[in-house]
Structure 1
Amino acid sequence: MSIQLFGLPVSRGVAIGRAVLVASSRVDVAHYFIEPANAAAEIGRLCRARDLVAAELSRLKAELPHDAPAELPALLDVHLMLLHDPMLEDATRQWIVERHYNAEWAVSAQTEVLVRQFDEMEDEYLRDRKADVEQVAERLLAALVSGHQGLLPVTTAVSGGDPLVLVATDIAPADMLQFKRSVFSGFVTDVGGRTSHTAIVARSLDIPAVVGAREASRLVCQDDWLIIDGDQGVVVVNPSPIVLEEYRFRQQQSDLERDRLKRLRYKPAVTLDGQPIELLANIELPRDAEAALEAGAVGVGLFRSEFLFMNRNGELPDEDEQYQAYRSVVEAMKGLPVTIRTIDIGADKPLDRASGPESRHDAVLNPALGLRAIRWSLAEPDMFLKQLRAILRAAACGKVRILIPMLAQRSEIHAVREALATARQQLDAQGVAHGPVELGAMIEVPAAAISLSMLMPHFDFFSIGTNDLIQYTLAIDRADEQVAALYDGWHPAVLSLISSVIRQCNDAGKSVSVCGEMAGDPACTELLLAMGLRAFSMQPAQLPAVKQRLLRADTSRLDDLLQSLEGEDDPARAWPVLLRTRAVAA
């Protein structure tokens, strides 16, 4: 039966493929693909785990007291029988051999299948037996516990031929790093918002995605055929042939449009009235620098350094490892500027419990308002100095800028500058080469936007992080799908803050860019140009569409439109109308 699910469209396009479910709600297990040649070894792991569980169940049965109720040994016998039942054992092996799932994933996937079958049984007694299946599966999973975590890389050959789409309750940012090297052509999550990091990475991959689909991971079964409509936020489960054909046509049209936009790569980013515009790239990992160059970026406007710190089981990268990573980006960009943001963790980007701020308390009530970004860096001075020294060393290899996230306090400004001076002194004392850097501040806290004059003398450049600026201005958790409808970059208060920051920076002769998701949204391109913005930083995949818009823009004709917008109650609706009216008049 075909059904439709609805969520938030966060990355455009259409994806069609078989569903791959990650981790049921009952257990949290590692999910990764294996190479076909390793299938026998993985089945060996499964068999050893089965034998361990069988031995444990037999021991428990043997150790039962003589006066134990008769139901207890009978229950253990049932579990032993289920453990060796072909519906569990043989089918689990099939997931490993045919779909190349690791053993834990295969057990989890087959358990999902069996549980659904039990749920559909009319006999109440048989329905209740699904608990026995779950308990046996959990014993197997416990026996299979390994050090593997997350979604590991997989080649197209390993995937089994059919295109795959990922379905999960949520995908951690650290797992998304592995996702970037996998074969999934799209994904759906139960939770998340338009600017959650899951959505941001989807846009960086330029693959269709829908988040906040609530019940997707419960309603979708392993291997269901899915259509992900990233334009409308719709997921079609087991579509009819007619619907499938319609979406295949749309998919082809979308691919043609992407190819057409790629031809703009070498065209200079200049508006119709001759205004040169900087189009920069946001990246997460050193290897993303290649994608930035491929897209035609003239530099890296935001290197999210926190991703070097993730998926490390509590062991943070040392100074040399960070230096090698930063240097590789600087060298890959071939003389173009690289802006490295100091570690910005917290909220939707936690580190492992052993190393991150969340380890200090059992529960963090409001992570977005807690010890995150520069607050955490200043609370961990040794870690912060290591990062600053690594960045300064990389600056000897090319043009580097340091960007400080979430600044809002005068004390933070002085602490940052003192730390940077200390890092230089330490490198000088050690005789280690380092280079000059520009120091910048992210404007993402309303207090920083309102008191920009306090920051202005201390920084060389500014970058507006619209994702958090919107979140904090409107008091909206941007990762919470329950309030996602209220997250609005076109809110008059937000537009006023952005416009004010751009104007003040231009008046003071300080460079300013927007590095949040508004920069990569073509619907906002003319608006930001009208505000005076001349530097945009975005995911590489977003760059061609934004370049197309600015090539067709005339900034000399946008100023009065911005003034007309100021009196509108609904700027998001009014702005396109104003643009169309001007185009018709022209």
Structure 2
Amino acid sequence: MASFTLHGIPVSRGIAIGRAHLVAPAALDVKHYLVSEEQVEAEVQRLQKAIETVHQELQTMWNELPKEAPAELGAFIDVHALILSDPMIAEVPLDIIRSRHYNAEWALVTQIEELSAQFDEIEDAYLRERKSDIQQVGERVLKVLTGSAITLPAQDGEEGAGRLIVIAHDISPADMLQFKDRAFGGFVTDLGGQNSHTAIVARSLDIPAAVGMYNASALIRQDDWVIIDGDHGVVIVDPTPGVLDQYRERQQRLARERKKLSKLRKTPAVTRDGTEITLLANIELPDDCPAALDAGATGVGLFRSEFLFMGRVGHAKHLPTEDEQFESYRQAVTAMKGRPVTIRTLDIGADKPLDAIEHTSLNPALGLRAIRFCLAEPQMFLAQLRAILRASAHGPVKLLIPMLAHAFEIDQALSLLEQAKAQLREAGKKFDPLMPVGAMIEIPAAALALPMFVKRLDFLSVGTNDLIQYTLAIDRADHEVAHLYNPLHPAVLYLLSTTIATGAKAGIPVSVCGEMAGDPKLTRLLLGMGLREFSMHPSQLLMVKQEILNSDLSDIGPRTRRILKMSEPAAIAEAVEELRAA
């Protein structure tokens, strides 16, 4: 078979080389038949028993989690258990069996497809990809119903075959536990994006992966030799001996570089000319804090609080309580041992999993999302604000509000914050009355109207992922326009540099917490713009620190100013490459 190359979405750095192991989805070929009236209850019981079996499987997995397993895995198992308990999964398929006389597999797949269609309408890319969690839970139940399961081949002694490359249409984080103690080198999936759970787990395990490959599972055959270039989202199938040697050499070089990088953990992030740079971590859970500290982060620049609201499909009444939220925020603040923790308020929209059935939106990315949704649900927002304020009594906390664009939104949010403080005073609860409040700059209108932000707020944090999406009018989760997503577009650079400069002039801190902050190819460009605070996934921190240590601002500054005057994308890309090589 001739060698061929596939291109997908890079989600985790590194190179993996090994034999392909295909994992087939159970949902593709389920049986569809009608059961007789007298057999309906027996079919209902068959599905109930399968659901209970999966509950037990998840509980066993949770109990047997290795101590060194990433915190995300335990959290994802909890999310899957919550989804499995939800009436939308645990009861509706049973009603379908009773009313339509579908067999158990057909009833379950019907309901999973219905829920998946609702999730496709969700505006937030991170939450939209939670659809895969529902599908993975359905897959797990189907495997019990059909008697199938993921099976891994025994390891043989063939040199170089000891790394297993898993090829799947999609794969759940729970299933990834099976690979924990095996020679698992990387994985390739047809589905997924930058924010899918498989991507998050890949980054936390630091395993090379490429997702969003469309039809990799159909094109790659069992035992094919596969190379994953995780940095570029490229998969090479049946490489020639020359290409194989070339990637093995790159793999060894990367291993040596990583070993060197680990020595930088305790080195302060200071440029060659003595400028201190703040390196912070983005987290989704309190359990992410140890990894942030281990990477040398001096605080948390973004705690995505929406993760606490996940796994509560279709039922707003199951929102986390104020006390639940407080406990999670307090755990993170305590774990960071006196380092600041920036907590972003709920960043989801109207057509969200909380009550997805009741809300639709013609253009979700432009709809009732983030702060717009929170201001429309003041009681829910007040509960979150009280929880965050209470956590501020246990260590330094900063409050970050997403998707602000209007002065009245800032004023309303600050007014509700004062109301939350008054409620806590009345209840005799402690909090930091001077907790800093900042805004996410992710809408072009916000970047073009900064005076009203710097006048009212204590700091700014640029969400480059959404800023690029809105500036270029593309859905960053849509594969068909993914090629238009360009962080080096002159308009994006103008808005970003203007925001950094305006913050510096006003004397308020500006950080970048989007993907650009964690990309070492862009570190010098951001430094040249005047950025002094970066926030990123912990696994990216040491690479960015290395770039900072090798940078001289007196040289980078003038070169960056020349880049910002350019208008041709190709010239900008070339100049940024030269800036990094300098």
Measured against the shorter chain, the TM-score band is: 0.7 to 0.9
Which residue does 1:423 correspond to in 2?
420
**Residues 134-283 of structure 1: pairs in structure 2 closer than 5 A:** 138=105, 149=137, 165=165, 167-169=167-169, 183=180, 185-191=185-191, 202-220=202-220, 226-237=226-237, 247-283=247-283
Are the counterparts in 2 of residues 195 and 479 from structure 1 also a CA contact under 8 Å?
no
Once residues 174 and 543 of structure 2 are traced to their aligned partners in structure 1, the CA distance between those partners, rounded to angstroms, is 24
Once residues 470 and 479 of structure 2 are traced to their aligned partners in structure 1, the CA distance between those partners, rounded to angstroms, is 16
Residue identity in the other structure for 1:530: G
In structure 2, relative to structure 1, the CA distance for the partners of 1:252 and 1:351 (3 Å cut) is farther
Once residues 139 and 305 of structure 2 are traced to their aligned partners in structure 1, the CA distance between those partners, rounded to angstroms, is 20
Deviations 1:499-521 (A, max 9, x none): 00000100110011000010011
Which residue does 1:577 correspond to in 2?
578
Are the counterparts in 2 of residues 204 and 542 from structure 1 also a CA contact under 8 Å?
no
Once residues 462 and 177 of structure 1 are traced to their aligned partners in structure 2, the CA distance between those partners, rounded to angstroms, is 37
Kindly indicate whether residue 288 of structure 2 is the aligned counterpart of residue 288 of structure 1.
yes
> 1:164: how far off?
5.2
In structure 2, relative to structure 1, the CA distance for the partners of 1:424 and 1:176 (3 Å cut) is farther
Residue identity in the other structure for 1:461: F
In structure 2, relative to structure 1, the CA distance for the partners of 1:22 and 1:551 (3 Å cut) is farther
> 1:383: how far off?
1.3
Are the counterparts in 2 of residues 281 and 292 from structure 1 also a CA contact under 8 Å?
yes
Are the counterparts in 2 of residues 195 and 467 from structure 1 also a CA contact under 8 Å?
no
Are the counterparts in 2 of residues 465 and 516 from structure 1 also a CA contact under 8 Å?
yes
**Residues 508-547 of structure 1: pairs in structure 2 closer than 5 A:** 508-547=506-545
Aligned pair partner of 1:367 in 361, 364, 368: 364
Which residue does 1:331 correspond to in 2?
334
Once residues 300 and 369 of structure 2 are traced to their aligned partners in structure 1, the CA distance between those partners, rounded to angstroms, is 23
Once residues 295 and 461 of structure 1 are traced to their aligned partners in structure 2, the CA distance between those partners, rounded to angstroms, is 24
Residue identity in the other structure for 1:459: L
Once residues 165 and 430 of structure 1 are traced to their aligned partners in structure 2, the CA distance between those partners, rounded to angstroms, is 55
Which residue does 2:126 correspond to in 1?
none
Aligned pair partner of 2:375 in 374, 378, 399: 378
Once residues 151 and 284 of structure 1 are traced to their aligned partners in structure 2, the CA distance between those partners, rounded to angstroms, is 25
SS of aligned partner of 1:236:
strand
Which residue does 1:11 correspond to in 2?
12
Task: State the TM-score, normalizing by the size of structure 1.
Answer: 0.72
Are the counterparts in 2 of residues 340 and 401 from structure 1 also a CA contact under 8 Å?
yes
SS of aligned partner of 1:268:
coil
SS of aligned partner of 2:273:
coil
Which residue does 2:481 correspond to in 1?
483
Residue identity in the other structure for 1:334: K
SS of aligned partner of 1:359:
coil
SS of aligned partner of 1:360:
coil
Residue identity in the other structure for 1:296: G
Residue identity in the other structure for 1:342: T
In structure 2, relative to structure 1, the CA distance for the partners of 1:563 and 1:390 (3 Å cut) is same
**Residues 394-409 of structure 1: pairs in structure 2 closer than 5 A:** 394-409=391-406
Are the counterparts in 1 of residues 22 and 217 from structure 2 also a CA contact under 8 Å?
no
> 1:303: how far off?
0.5
Deviations 1:502-560 (A, max 9, x none): 00100110011000010011111111111111000000000011000010111122221
Residue identity in the other structure for 2:415: E
Aligned pair partner of 1:443 in 441, 444, 461: 441
In structure 2, relative to structure 1, the CA distance for the partners of 1:327 and 1:265 (3 Å cut) is same
Higher mean C-alpha deviation, range 245-254 or range 273-282 = 245-254
Are the counterparts in 2 of residues 345 and 373 from structure 1 also a CA contact under 8 Å?
yes
In structure 2, relative to structure 1, the CA distance for the partners of 1:567 and 1:141 (3 Å cut) is closer
Identity of aligned residues (%): 53
Higher mean C-alpha deviation, range 569-578 or range 514-523 = 569-578
Deviations 1:406-440 (A, max 9, x none): 10012211110111111111111111222231101
In structure 2, relative to structure 1, the CA distance for the partners of 1:569 and 1:256 (3 Å cut) is same
Which residue does 2:566 correspond to in 1?
567
Deviations 1:330-383 (A, max 9, x none): 011000000000111249xx853xx14x4333x543222122111111122121
Deviations 1:293-324 (A, max 9, x none): 00000000001111111123332211111111
Residue identity in the other structure for 1:212: G
In structure 2, relative to structure 1, the CA distance for the partners of 1:563 and 1:497 (3 Å cut) is same
Once residues 527 and 206 of structure 1 are traced to their aligned partners in structure 2, the CA distance between those partners, rounded to angstroms, is 26
Once residues 9 and 560 of structure 1 are traced to their aligned partners in structure 2, the CA distance between those partners, rounded to angstroms, is 32
Are the counterparts in 1 of residues 309 and 320 from structure 2 also a CA contact under 8 Å?
yes
SS of aligned partner of 2:210:
strand
Which residue does 1:390 correspond to in 2?
387
In structure 2, relative to structure 1, the CA distance for the partners of 1:168 and 1:181 (3 Å cut) is closer
Larger Rg over CA atoms: 1
Are the counterparts in 2 of residues 20 and 164 from structure 1 also a CA contact under 8 Å?
no
Higher mean C-alpha deviation, range 544-553 or range 209-218 = 209-218
Once residues 501 and 458 of structure 1 are traced to their aligned partners in structure 2, the CA distance between those partners, rounded to angstroms, is 15
Task: State the TM-score, normalizing by the size of structure 2.
Answer: 0.72
Are the counterparts in 2 of residues 5 and 213 from structure 1 also a CA contact under 8 Å?
yes
Once residues 400 and 320 of structure 1 are traced to their aligned partners in structure 2, the CA distance between those partners, rounded to angstroms, is 17
Which residue does 2:123 correspond to in 1?
none
The Cα RMSD (Å) is: 3.8
In structure 2, relative to structure 1, the CA distance for the partners of 1:336 and 1:237 (3 Å cut) is same
Are the counterparts in 1 of residues 191 and 212 from structure 2 also a CA contact under 8 Å?
yes
Which residue does 1:411 correspond to in 2?
408
In structure 2, relative to structure 1, the CA distance for the partners of 1:484 and 1:177 (3 Å cut) is farther
Deviations 1:271-303 (A, max 9, x none): 011000000000111100000000000000001
Residue identity in the other structure for 2:541: L
In structure 2, relative to structure 1, the CA distance for the partners of 1:556 and 1:247 (3 Å cut) is closer
SS of aligned partner of 2:436:
strand
In structure 2, relative to structure 1, the CA distance for the partners of 1:568 and 1:139 (3 Å cut) is closer
Once residues 244 and 368 of structure 1 are traced to their aligned partners in structure 2, the CA distance between those partners, rounded to angstroms, is 42
In structure 2, relative to structure 1, the CA distance for the partners of 1:259 and 1:579 (3 Å cut) is closer
Aligned pair partner of 1:500 in 495, 498, 501: 498
Higher mean C-alpha deviation, range 367-376 or range 249-258 = 249-258
Gap regions ≥5 residues in structure 1: 29-49, 62-95, 101-134
Gap regions ≥5 residues in structure 2: 41-56, 62-101, 113-133, 141-150, 156-161
Residue identity in the other structure for 1:215: N
Are the counterparts in 1 of residues 20 and 167 from structure 2 also a CA contact under 8 Å?
no
> 1:211: how far off?
3.1
SS of aligned partner of 2:265:
coil
> 1:232: how far off?
3.6
SS of aligned partner of 1:513:
strand
Once residues 479 and 573 of structure 2 are traced to their aligned partners in structure 1, the CA distance between those partners, rounded to angstroms, is 20
Are the counterparts in 2 of residues 514 and 536 from structure 1 also a CA contact under 8 Å?
yes
